[in-house]
Structure 1
Amino acid sequence: MSTPATKVLVLGIDAASPDLLDEWIADGSLPNLAALAARGLVARTRGIEGFFVGSTWASFYTGTNPSRHGLHYQMQLVPGSYRLEDRARGTFVEGDPFWRAVSRAGKRVAVLDVPLAKLEPELHGVQVVEWGAHDAFFGFATNPPELAAEIEARTGKHTAASSCDAPARDAGAYIEFVAALEEGVRRKGIWSAELLARGNWDLFMQVFTESHCVGHQCWHLHDVSHPAHEPHVAAATGDPLRTVYRAIDCAIGELVATAGDAQIVVFAAHGMSHRFGAHFLLRDILCALGVAARTPRSLGERLREEIARVWRALPTPVRATLAPLRDRAVREEGVRVGVPATGVDVDRSRCFPLANGLAVSGIRLNLVGREPRGTLAPGDEEARFVAQLQADLLAIVDEVSGAPLVKRVIRTRGLYEGEHLDSLPDLLVEWNDAVARGSTALGSGAGARVRATSNKLGVVEGANDYGRSGEHRPGGWLVAAGPGVEHGRLSWEPSLLDLAPTIAGMMGVELPDAAGDPIAAIGNA
């Protein structure tokens, strides 16, 4: 009995390295992707400048930039306050995912494990949220609800932990970790193929996030030049990235075969390479430059910081169980235990750091009239302050390597304009990625320590103790194949924002609010 036709099959390889995909397609390590590339169109894509860590998936599925959809990181400043909120507990993203428009147009859709996407209450089709996800914000859920039990009865739970991070791993633990990711890919492929085989899908979309996990945790085992590379561990594990990418390639091959003559898009929304930067030093740097002042820490505050550290280290299921107790510990100022505060004395600070991912840090200006206790006048004073701060940050050198520590300092309003611009950091500190950063949690700790120096700064030093060895890059990758798709390699780089209108357009659905444009070479309905 033949499978009823599927029109569009979209598969994500979350945070996969475009360079590795091209290399391993060329050498035969990824035969199914190679087969798609041979009969289709390959392209590199441009990511979301300044916000390619926390904003990538929301930008992909809304087709809008972060000043429009409002999300740049899970923990964000509440405008008009100094309080940080967990976006996953509220609106999360302002704007419609493209599959909502496709569903409303009467198309039958399956949206499976798309990262950072909430469960849709109404959808013409099925949705799976976080069966196996790198970022587990919402918990495993499905629409219809009974699909969850069906999936778990067929393949069980994902074999990797809901959080990929671990304080330290030896060779045996890395082998177990990679095997769990491989098995998770295999299981996801099984239940996805069975759903796909039910057919009559206008859109069938699945994302493999195992590539994201292995990139963060095992880049140093792949990259022999990484300061944390451990030859004896790598000899035991092999290349974990190649192992997991090959497992995903195998699952993709089965799904493509099941989809028949569908139009196919396989993509990586953003990339991965070595860890870099010194986000962990930013507050100290701002204080040393005299533009921010630390908050004197009481015994209670130090205790709260320790509780927060322990909280962030807990597995997601444990945090979910303890969340009601955590919420009852809300302080008068509205900061939850486990939720970091600004970390500065706002009455004596003209700016303060904001979390925006490790590759590009955020800085908020403490503006009079916008912040509750602003100290920096908007206008000419603000402009002079920003120009001086940009110059001071760009003058800082990593004493160990002799290279500039900061690559660029960008005004966010120079990149984007939208109704949620005030929800974003005012300045973006793009760290220099020329030097790989080690960690005290990996191997001997080589490359973990940073000594930041300049004539104005003096010396600010510290060590990275976060155990990830891989970090995101903004560039992505795609291959498309099937009826109406051109062959070869695209000579220009489409924006990530072009993907939503392209995919919707393949089904004859327009997205008038999207910032991107359909990619004509991939073909429309």
Structure 2
Amino acid sequence: MSSTRLLILGMDAAEPELLRQWTADGTLPNLAALARRGRTAGIRGLAGFHIGSTWPSLYTGTTPARHGFHYQIQHRPGTYRYHRPQDHGLIHGTPFWRALSDADRRVAMLDVPLSPIDPSLNGMQIQEWGGHDALYGFHAHPASLAEKIRARFGDHPVGAGCDGERCTAADHAAFVERLVRGVEAKAEMTREFLREGAWDAFMQVFSETHCVGHQCWHLHDPSHPAHDAEMAAAVGDPVRRVYQSVDSAIGRIIEEAGDCTVFAFSAHGMGYWYGADFLLPEILARLGVSRPIAAAGRSADGSGARRRSMLTAGVGWGWHRLPSPVRERLRGIRGRYGPKAPAKGPPTMPPVNLSESRCFHQPNGLATGGIRLNLAGREPQGMLQPGPEADAFMRELTQDLLAIVDERTGQPFIQRVIRVDEHYQGPRLQDLPDLVVEYSDAVATGSTRVGNGAGARVRVHSPRVGVVEGANEYGRTGEHRSRGMLFAAGPGIAAGEGEATVSILDLAPTWTRLLGVDLETAEGTPIDGIMPDNSAVRPVQPDVRDGYEGDPPDAMQGR
């Protein structure tokens, strides 16, 4: 049995309502036991930024206006270029494990999503052995640890990423089995490293809950447009199966760790796929605020994009109507001549005429959209003047966006437009969109690539934009929700009735304070009811090395 002081177990993107339901009915007995001997809390995500920035916000205790990361493709300030933040250090700020390491605490961080390797960490770190977002590939600190893990456990059974086209019950069953094998390997890996002992903080994250939610939600949820009752009966509920596997792993890990403080959590949730961010560029064009560049096969009014979308939707519908044996025989031909995934080259800006556009679309996660103002003095060809002119523009644009109706429901297509500088302030505010569009999740959106393509087409209208329509071509069936859930138990944590709600920013400063270290850079605060009243605290100053605070040497040179 180990002598770990603080054990942190992440269930990446596990849906909190399912965690509550399945701990109550006995499906997840180990999480239920943890709740009985400690306390639970809801976790509140960040408005507009509950997808890409979730993990950096959690482990630094800061918003993206401070750590600078909101999505895997971001606008590069001072240019009209996109870049991948992982090429430039990913975040700006101090992860909680860096603060603990600087205070001579021994730490082990295993598969924490979206976290760069820290080669001077006092302890060990495993990066993307089994992660959902494969930005860097599998690495470890110390470097020799990677070969040791490969020799003992091999590669993760799912491989480097979860996305893929799965058409048959056998496809989905095999995928779920690989996820479960990955959970079991992580559990054994965690227990082996715990036995090394003397860990002040030990963290492992199960990304398998994230993967099964994105890929198999349509088999779990009968209301999803792609739900196939016959296939679901053959495969079972993949989400339930993976959650049960993770619950079993948590029980074994807690037993190995012994009498320590334990946190198990989901930082954000999952539900059916919703929204249609693929319509936002055309909506902005219809409103006259973003002017597309006309090119071969593409018209300035967006009709070319509509025709391509309708053609793709029709082809996808026809493909999924074919009998499964026929699809299997034709799969090679489709792969050779069918739609190709985008090349993994440098990300490119949307095709808009920037000298005539007052704003443009900015990626921010597919359930939320970003809009960046073409602001004079900030952008190379800025049109809008900061101050009253930009303020009036954002007010009018917000009203126009909120007036758009989703014809599937007769209700607003967009539930909220967030002006980012009214919610967030910090040195990296310039990295973020100026407006974030949150789409209504009142109805599920299907995909041309899943099932028979049902529910993939989205048609919206308003007096200003007319009718805008298109089809979702992305193959995931589950999408994130902003709420998570926390379980905490152990020495100094009294069992409590009821469930409070805490900010995602509160977790990192809570964990460092439990080990006597104050994470001074955090915007969150230690969670009431968990902190011992007499905990001794040692302040830790921000780390100023590249990748954590400040820019890498070439980060702002507009390459």
The DSSP-based 3-state class of the residue aligned with 1:493 is strand
The DSSP-based 3-state class of the residue aligned with 2:369 is strand
Other-structure match for 1:329: none
Q: Aligned partner of 1:469: which letter? A: T
Give the structure-2-normalised TM-score: 0.87
Other-structure match for 2:483: 475
Report if the CA contact (8 A) 1:71-1:92 is conserved: yes
Post-superposition offset of 1:299: 8.0
Q: Which of 185, 190, 193 does residue 183 from structure 2 map onto?
A: 185
Other-structure match for 1:142: 140
Post-superposition offset of 1:523: 2.5
The DSSP-based 3-state class of the residue aligned with 2:23 is helix
Post-superposition offset of 1:167: 3.2
Other-structure match for 1:487: 495
Separation (CA, whole Å) in 2 of partners of 1:310 and 1:516 = 43
Post-superposition offset of 1:310: 4.1
Give the structure-1-normalised TM-score: 0.92
The DSSP-based 3-state class of the residue aligned with 1:450 is strand
Cα deviation per residue 1:409-431 (whole Å; 9 max; x = unaligned)? 11000110001111100001010
Post-superposition offset of 1:312: 4.1
Decide which moves more: 339-348 or 182-191: 339-348
Post-superposition offset of 1:13: 0.2
Cα deviation per residue 1:36-77 (whole Å; 9 max; x = unaligned)? 011110110111111110000000111100000001011111
Other-structure match for 1:284: 282
Write out aligned runs for 1:20-39 (5 A). 20-39=18-37
Structure 2 vs 1, CA of residues 499 and 490 (structure 1 numbering), >3 Å: closer, same or farther?
A: farther
Structure 1, gaps ≥5 residues long = 314-318, 320-325, 327-335
Decide which moves more: 211-220 or 371-380: 371-380
Q: Which of 517, 524, 527 does residue 509 from structure 1 map onto?
A: 517
Post-superposition offset of 1:492: 2.8
Other-structure match for 1:209: 207
RMSD: 1.8
Other-structure match for 2:53: 55
Separation (CA, whole Å) in 2 of partners of 1:298 and 1:462 = 20
Separation (CA, whole Å) in 1 of partners of 2:498 and 2:381 = 51
Report if the CA contact (8 A) 1:220-1:470 is conserved: yes
Report if the CA contact (8 A) 1:47-1:496 is conserved: yes
Cα deviation per residue 1:239-259 (whole Å; 9 max; x = unaligned)? 000000011111111110001
The DSSP-based 3-state class of the residue aligned with 1:94 is coil
Post-superposition offset of 1:381: 1.6
Separation (CA, whole Å) in 1 of partners of 2:273 and 2:121 = 39
1:357 has 2:370 as partner: no
Other-structure match for 1:368: 376
Separation (CA, whole Å) in 2 of partners of 1:442 and 1:172 = 15
Decide which moves more: 26-35 or 487-496: 487-496
Q: Aligned partner of 2:94: which letter? A: D
Separation (CA, whole Å) in 2 of partners of 1:216 and 1:489 = 33
Separation (CA, whole Å) in 2 of partners of 1:481 and 1:297 = 60
Post-superposition offset of 1:264: 0.3
Other-structure match for 1:385: 393
Cα deviation per residue 1:96-133 (whole Å; 9 max; x = unaligned)? 10100101111111000000001001011111000000
Q: Aligned partner of 2:475: which letter? A: G
Report if the CA contact (8 A) 2:2-2:256 is conserved: no
Q: Aligned partner of 1:78: which letter? A: R
Cα deviation per residue 1:338-389 (whole Å; 9 max; x = unaligned)? x131331111211101000012110000111111011222222212211111
Post-superposition offset of 1:493: 0.9
Other-structure match for 2:318: none
Separation (CA, whole Å) in 2 of partners of 1:491 and 1:250 = 24
Other-structure match for 1:258: 256
Structure 2 vs 1, CA of residues 236 and 80 (structure 1 numbering), >3 Å: closer, same or farther?
A: same
Q: Which of 40, 64, 71 does residue 62 from structure 2 map onto?
A: 64
Write out aligned runs for 1:332-343 (5 A). 336=346, 339-343=347-351
Report if the CA contact (8 A) 1:131-1:140 is conserved: yes
Q: Aligned partner of 1:475: which letter? A: R
Separation (CA, whole Å) in 2 of partners of 1:458 and 1:520 = 51
Structure 2 vs 1, CA of residues 85 and 409 (structure 1 numbering), >3 Å: closer, same or farther?
A: same
Q: Aligned partner of 1:204: which letter? A: F
Structure 2 vs 1, CA of residues 487 and 231 (structure 1 numbering), >3 Å: closer, same or farther?
A: same
Separation (CA, whole Å) in 2 of partners of 1:274 and 1:168 = 17
1:431 has 2:439 as partner: yes
Separation (CA, whole Å) in 1 of partners of 2:499 and 2:470 = 43
Q: Aligned partner of 1:340: which letter? A: T
Separation (CA, whole Å) in 2 of partners of 1:163 and 1:500 = 27
Separation (CA, whole Å) in 2 of partners of 1:397 and 1:4 = 57
Post-superposition offset of 1:21: 0.4
Report if the CA contact (8 A) 1:168-1:441 is conserved: no
Separation (CA, whole Å) in 1 of partners of 2:79 and 2:415 = 30
Other-structure match for 1:453: 461
The DSSP-based 3-state class of the residue aligned with 1:343 is coil
Post-superposition offset of 1:489: 4.1
Separation (CA, whole Å) in 2 of partners of 1:340 and 1:404 = 30
Structure 2 vs 1, CA of residues 274 and 489 (structure 1 numbering), >3 Å: closer, same or farther?
A: farther
Structure 2, gaps ≥5 residues long = 299-303, 305-335, 536-559
Report if the CA contact (8 A) 1:218-1:470 is conserved: yes
Other-structure match for 2:76: 78
Q: Aligned partner of 2:36: which letter? A: A
Report if the CA contact (8 A) 2:461-2:467 is conserved: yes
1:111 has 2:109 as partner: yes
Other-structure match for 1:420: 428
Separation (CA, whole Å) in 1 of partners of 2:29 and 2:70 = 36
The DSSP-based 3-state class of the residue aligned with 2:94 is coil
Equivalent pairs, count: 497
Separation (CA, whole Å) in 2 of partners of 1:167 and 1:312 = 15
Report if the CA contact (8 A) 1:217-1:470 is conserved: yes
The DSSP-based 3-state class of the residue aligned with 1:494 is strand
Other-structure match for 2:404: 396
Other-structure match for 1:90: 88
Other-structure match for 1:195: 193
Separation (CA, whole Å) in 1 of partners of 2:47 and 2:62 = 13
Report if the CA contact (8 A) 1:43-1:489 is conserved: no
Other-structure match for 1:323: none
The DSSP-based 3-state class of the residue aligned with 1:451 is strand
Write out aligned runs for 1:214-293 (5 A). 214-293=212-291
The DSSP-based 3-state class of the residue aligned with 2:517 is coil
Post-superposition offset of 1:289: 1.2
Separation (CA, whole Å) in 2 of partners of 1:449 and 1:299 = 21
Identity %: 52
Report if the CA contact (8 A) 2:448-2:474 is conserved: yes
Write out aligned runs for 1:121-132 (5 A). 121-132=119-130
Post-superposition offset of 1:298: 4.8
